[in-house]
Chains A and B, each alone.
Chain A
Amino acid sequence: MSSIIKKTKRKKGSRIFLAVVLIPTFVWFLMFFIIPFISVIVYSFTDAHMAYSTFKFVGLQQYINAFKDPTFVISLKNTVIAAVVIMPTTVILSIALAAGLNELSDRLREIFTFIYFLPSIISTVAISLVWSWLYHRNYGLFNAILGIFGIKPQPFLGSPDQALLALCVIQIWAIFGYYAVVLLAAMRGIDKTYYEVADIDGASKSAKFFRITLPLIKNSILFVCIMSTISSFMFFTPVKILTEGRPGTSTMVMLYHILKKGIEESKIGYASAMSIILMLIIMSFSLVQWVLTREKKEKKLRRKHNE
Chain B
Amino acid sequence: MNKKKKKDLSYYLTLLLLLLGSTIMILPLYWMVVSSFKGQAELMQMPPTLYPHKLVTTNFSRVLEGIPFIRYYANSLGVTLLSTVVAVFSSCIIGFVFAKYRFKGRELIFLIILAFVMIPYDTLMIPLYKLMANLKLTNSYFVLTVPYFVNIFGIFLMRQFFIDFPDDYLEAAEVDGCGHFRRFFTIVLPMAKPMASALFIYIFMAVYNSFLWPLISVSSNKLFTLPVGIAALYSNRGTQTDLIMAASTMMVVPLMVVFAFVQKNFIEGLTIGGIKG
Residues of A within 8 A of B (CB): 10, 13-14, 16-18, 20-22, 25, 28-29, 31-33, 35-37, 39-40, 43, 48, 50, 53, 97, 100-101, 103-105, 108, 110, 112-127, 129-131, 133-134, 136, 138-139, 141, 144, 147-148, 173-175, 177-178, 181-182, 185, 192, 205, 223, 227, 230-231, 233-234, 236-237, 240-241, 255, 258-259, 262-263, 268, 271-272, 275-276, 278-279, 282-283, 286-287
Contact = CB atoms under 8 A, between A and B. Distances in A.
A282 B123 contact: yes
Contacts of A127: 28
A177 B180 contact: no
Contacts of B134: 53
B29 to A, nearest CB: 7
B267 A283 contact: no
Given A112-B22, A177-B25, A258-B126, 9 more contacts: A18-B103, A31-B131, A43-B130, A103-B5, A114-B259, A114-B260, A125-B211, A178-B271, A286-B118
Given A100-B14, A133-B241, A279-B119, A36 B274 contact: no
Interface stretch (B93-101, B156-164, B192-200): B93-101
Contacts, number: 246
A144 B45 CA distance: 10
16 contacts: A13-B179, A17-B180, A17-B181, A25-B150, A39-B131, A50-B130, A104-B14, A121-B270, A124-B227, A126-B248, A130-B32, A133-B35, A147-B47, A174-B276, A181-B267, A240-B231
Given A123-B252, A130-B31, A131-B28, A117 B94 contact: no
A182 B271 contact: yes
A36 B234 contact: no
Contacts of B17: 100
A236 B31 contact: no
Contact of A130 (B10, B21, B29, B128): B29
B231 A283 contact: no
How would you classify the secondary structure of chain B's contact residues: helix, strand, loop or mixed?
helix
Contacts of A101: 18
B43 interface: yes
Contacts of A279: 119-120, 123
Interface in B197-243: 205, 208-209, 211-212, 215-216, 226-227, 230-231, 234-235, 241
Contacts of A147: 46-47
Interface of B: 2, 4-5, 10-11, 14-15, 17-18, 21-22, 24-29, 31-32, 35, 43-48, 90, 93-94, 97, 101, 103, 113, 116, 118-120, 122-131, 133-134, 146-147, 149-150, 174, 179-181, 184, 205, 208-209, 211-212, 215-216, 226-227, 230-231, 234-235, 241, 244-245, 248, 251-252, 255-256, 259-260, 263-264, 266-267, 270-271, 274-276
Contacts of B227: 123-126
A110 B265 CA distance: 12
- Interchain residue pairs A-B with the least CB separation, the first 7: A17-B180, A39-B127, A262-B126, A125-B227, A36-B127, A36-B124, A279-B123
A62 B43 CA distance: 48
B14 to A, nearest CB: 5
B124 to A, nearest CB: 4
Nearest to A113: B267
A114 B25 CA distance: 10
Contact of B28 (A22, A117, A130): A130
A116 B263 CA distance: 12
B19 to A, nearest CB: 9
Nearest to A178: B276
A283 B118 contact: yes
Contacts of A118: 25-26, 29, 256, 259
A121 B255 contact: yes
Contacts of B181: 17, 20
Given A39-B127, A50-B130, A130-B32, A121 B119 contact: no
B123 A275 contact: yes
A268 B130 contact: yes
Given A18-B101, A126-B230, A126-B251, A227 B274 contact: yes
A109 to B, nearest CB: 10
Contact of A236 (B46, B122, B150): B122
Q: Which of A17, A53, A144 has the most C-beta atoms of chain B within 10 angstroms of its own C-beta?
A: A17
Contact of A259 (B18, B90, B216, B275): B216
Contacts of B14: 100, 103-104
Contacts of B130: 39, 43, 48, 50, 268
A231 B90 CA distance: 27
B172 to A, nearest CB: 14
Nearest to A123: B209
Contact of A124 (B118, B125, B211, B260): B211
Nearest to B96: A21
Nearest to B155: A25
Contacts of B259: 114, 118, 121
B276 A129 contact: no
Contacts of A129: 32, 230, 234, 244-245, 248
A167 B134 CA distance: 36
Contact of B274 (A13, A104, A182, A234): A182
A37 B275 CA distance: 22
B244 A144 contact: no
